[in-house]
Chains A and B, each alone.
Chain A
Amino acid sequence: MTRRVPLWLAAPAIAGLLLFLVYPTVYLVALALTRSSLAHPLRVFTGVENFQKAFAAPAFAPSLGKSTLFAIVVAVVTTLLGLGLAMLLRHRGAGFGVAGALLLLPLVTAPVLVGVAWKLLLAPVGGGLAGIAAALGLGGFNPLGSGVGALIVLGLIHIWQWTPFAALIAFAALGVVRPELVESARVDGASPWRTFTVVTWPAIAPSLLAVATLELVIGYKVFDTIVVITSGGPGFATALSPFVIYQTGLRGSFDMGTAAAQTLVFAAVVGVVATAVTTVRARMVRAEG
């Protein structure tokens, strides 16, 4: 019998956890309950004042709903597109191949850089796609000019960046599906859709639902492209929560107390949604047996 692996091997990681999870949480609560300036944090106890100010900021409350909608939509789309791509790559052969390697490149591209490229591609006057838009009879094509359009553009860029991650995990998950089961289902005359739901899906569901959850969390983090492409505009249509907090805490107002209150509210929303999704996922996996 081997001796227990000593916990001290994980001591640096646990220290990091304290520094990155426990300390920020405690400090945020303290900041949220007091008045602070950038130079002098934690001056006077103010109770719930910062939370009132947090919601008094017109962009904040809508940002929570928009961030949640954004995260859910991109999680569903990246997971489904990723699964589709993975099935195509599997269909072609056992390896991820050159095409697979190239398809991964969006994942390692800095979002800031992606933002710069798309901003210029979509510029209404002289942008890279303006000529094509004009040729298609869409003169004055300017998706970044409207709130909904700009939000959709940010969503599409996020999907562009993060679909490869879902594709990679789905590709690996498909590797555990036993081909002889797929083959016998086909021999028995099952339609491709029925083969998928009965044979493939139960085998890949745990991995795929896990990746969807990760994509959800990643969707809540979107920030860089907002700074580069829209600065939260037009109006505050694309001011998702991290960007609102950034503006409150850093750009312009340096109101750390209010930013801390907003951060706590946002973290609570992400926590509740992520827990709900994880619970549903656990039920689904159990139901699949």
Chain B
Amino acid sequence: MSRTAIRSEVVEWASGIYEDLEFTAVRQWLEGHPGRKACGYLPVYAPREVIHAAGMLPVGIHGSGNIEIIRGDAFYQSYICHLPRSIVEFAQSGRLDMLSAVLFPSTCDVIRNLSGMWQILFPDMYVRYLDLPQVADPALGAEFWRRELEVVRRELGRVAGVEVTDARLRESIALYNEVRAIIRQLYALRSEKPWQVPTEELYLLMRAGELVGPEAFLEKAREYLTAAQSDDQRVRDRTRVIITGSFCEQPPLGLIKTIERAGCYIVDDDFLAGNRFLTGDVALEGDPTTALAEALVRGAVKTSVLYEPDPAGKRNLMKNRVAAARADGVIFAAASFCDPALLDRPMLRDGAEKAGIPCIAFKFAENSGQFQQFREQAGTFSDSIKLWGDA
């Protein structure tokens, strides 16, 4: 099979999973693994290694803009983002009834409140609100998070009927180290040669990885990486941009396509940030729970959902990311009513603009259907950089 064909096959596989609103991939996994269970998690960061070590399938619940919202709107006011509406819709329509547990990370108040609703709506399901450490003292934060992880480890083991031994957890950590490594490779290739890795394709692959388990994801990601490295694509004269602010509610695929078609190469982003929340490998020596806790506290990506102890940290963040990605500009693309992203935006943008970095900003919802305004903004932004900037 040619490299182009391999690449197309992987993208088609990923696209099928992304578009399937019935979570068939999860159901098929459960059918193929009798006696095993599935555990969902919401954005942004949940310790997938612990879920996997309990023998469960980690299932990323990211909502969807393609589902008609009938029940979801009844749970939320109009000034709340779209993500919880589609998640409630998924749950209330029975599409998530194959899950035995769901983890709700402390991303924002909306997700915290959603965990409470879940407990009331689904009293038989294991529901856990994960309080991620938000402290300046790493030692204190690591100990707090280790204890939290111990509780999750014990309780998911109980739900799954499995004792999550150190050996099992270490194996899962090793597997997820491989997942993180290949994601880093894919992101590095895209940053170096964005014409070889269109963000539309990369995003679909990452999105499929949220539903198929690490083993299947690794297989497909390796196939794609090998094909993308050598399947030469035409180099276009485009502006290199970073997209930031889309770490929780996800933009519609059409928006990602629109930005690239309008003349931009996306060379870094924070879509589905949970899959690369830990920036390095988690240590395989010593106590594995401690290793996971240390990895988060000392090696988490800089993001709006974690406390930033350095007063200048957020102001310098975009400058550092732009330098690392050799980007020409930043597009702040946050979901409407996303508190963490929109509260951070002024600081991030101010820091970027003071560093002379061209920026634009807009808001989207996962169900945004009209892309003309985004096309205009991204197109004129790209033109202004190419014709009047340094690119």
Q: Do A and B make up one complex?
A: no
Which residues of B does A touch, CB under 8 Å?
A: none
